[in-house]
Amino acid sequence: MSTALKHTPLHPVHIEFGAKMVDFGGWDMPVAYGSQLEEHHAVRQDAGMFDVSHMLNIDVNGPDAEVFLKRLLANDVSKLAVPGKALYSCMLNPEGGVIDDLIVYFFSSDQWRVVVNAGTADKDLAWMQHVAQADGFDVVLTPRRDLAMVAVQGPNARSKLWETRPGWEAETHALPVFTGAFVDDDTLVARTGYTGEDGFEVVLPATQVEAFWRDLAANGVRACGLGARDTLRLEAGMNLYGQEMDESVNPLVSGLAWTISLKDTERAFIGREALEAAAADRTLVGVKLLERGVMRGHMKVRTGQGEGELTSGSMSPTMGVSIGMARVPKGAQPGDPIQVEIRGKWLPAEVVKMPFVRNGKIIA
């Protein structure tokens, strides 16, 4: 018996806008509203918006909130001292595998927010509650399904948001990257994203999101689906949970060593012992195909150091060639020739430094 798909508050609007809907982690989500290619280019060249309300905001409040998060996450939340500042981190199991990658916001010592992925949200919340109970932390975890979330991304995203909601500009104009500000009691505007472009992610009451979406559309912000979101994040060299990492893979072999903080030798975060004992004999690299073809996840890769596997792959709309990420034996360097097996043939490719594209410019 199949389980009914979940709907975000914008679901009726997606249908009205003519979106092609797909099952994404148990949610009925738009993959595209027409041309995925045009949606991708809209974000690189102008401004696009994504419904990311399927992701879950979890408020973490209480006297032990900070010490709880220091135990829970591989990155160290004590780095956060300015209200609204955010941090990217992995949440690990005791074996060092990635339960999820997430963003945590600091508001005060006893008020924080964690934003987790849609497909892992229930698992994440159960794990967080287990850790809180097992270690006796005085915290309250509140999943905020009363909130919706819209990402507005692209070189003109910020100006178009301010044109749409002029009252928000004063609070958000000077926001540094990876920082959020409340423009209303329950509306958080954060300078974050998943596309390699500037812009905002806006968390607001679900009751207000439809009007917000329609107003942005009327102001020339293009509705974009998950298809464009995936090619944009791949060009930006950003990991996707379930492809670049999961519970069987640690951050050291997922290009995420920079998200692990070992500076505080007394901070016994979950998974630390396993990471310190792990041999990081593999690494994640960018790959660019040198012949016609399209790389996809799980294709085999040959390097001078041995075999590996693509974790993600697609045609890059910005570059006009196929790009991907691959987990390969350590030692592979940008510029190294490699081969990718596509339909039984080994095609030439090269290792490239990520990101491939940033702020509309080809880097790789």
Which CATH number is 38's domain given?
3.30.1360.120
Q: Which helix (H) or strand (E) holds 326?
A: strand 322-329
The residues facing 187 across adjacent strands are 184
Within a domain: 68: no
Residues 219 and 328 in one domain: no
The CA distance from 101 to 79, in Å, is: 18
In a domain, 254, yes or no: no
Q: Is residue 25 part of a domain?
A: yes
Rounded-to-integer distance, Cα 53 and Cα 57, Å: 9
Same domain, 228 and 169: yes
Q: What is the pLDDT along the chain (364 residues), one digit of tens a residue?
A: 557 999 999 999 999 999 999 999 999 999 999 999 999 999 999 999 999 999 999 999 999 999 999 999 999 999 999 999 999 999 999 999 999 999 999 999 999 999 999 999 999 999 999 999 999 999 999 999 999 999 999 999 999 999 999 999 999 999 999 999 999 999 999 999 999 999 999 999 999 999 999 999 999 999 999 999 999 999 999 999 999 999 999 999 999 999 999 999 999 999 999 999 998 899 999 999 999 999 999 999 999 999 999 999 999 999 999 999 999 999 999 999 999 999 999 999 999 999 999 999 999 8
Count up the domains in the chain and report the number: 2
Task: Tell me, yes or no, whether 205 lies in a domain.
Answer: yes
Asked if residue 195 and residue 308 are part of one domain, the reply reads no
Does 31 map to a domain? yes
Is residue 32 located within the same domain as residue 180?
Answer: yes
Whether residues 231 and 301 fall in one domain? no
Q: Is residue 26 part of a domain?
A: yes
Regarding whether 332 and 206 lie in a shared domain, the answer is: no
Q: Are residues 311 and 178 in the same domain?
A: no
Whether pTM > 0.95 for this model: the answer is yes
The pLDDT of residue 362 is 95
Cross-strand bridge partners of residue 338: 349
Same domain, 184 and 324: no
pLDDT on residue 3: 78
Shared-domain flag, residues 23 and 161? yes
Does 231 fall in a domain? yes
DSSP string, 166-191: GGGHHHHTTPPTTBEEEEETTEEEES
C-alpha triplet 78, 117, 27: angle, nearest 5°: 160
Same domain? For 221 and 330 the reply is no
Q: Is residue 89 part of a domain?
A: no
CATH code of the domain covering residue 288: 2.40.30.110
Note the pLDDT of residue 280: 83
Judge if 304 and 163 occupy the same domain.
Answer: no
Q: Which domain holds residue 161?
A: 11-53+146-235
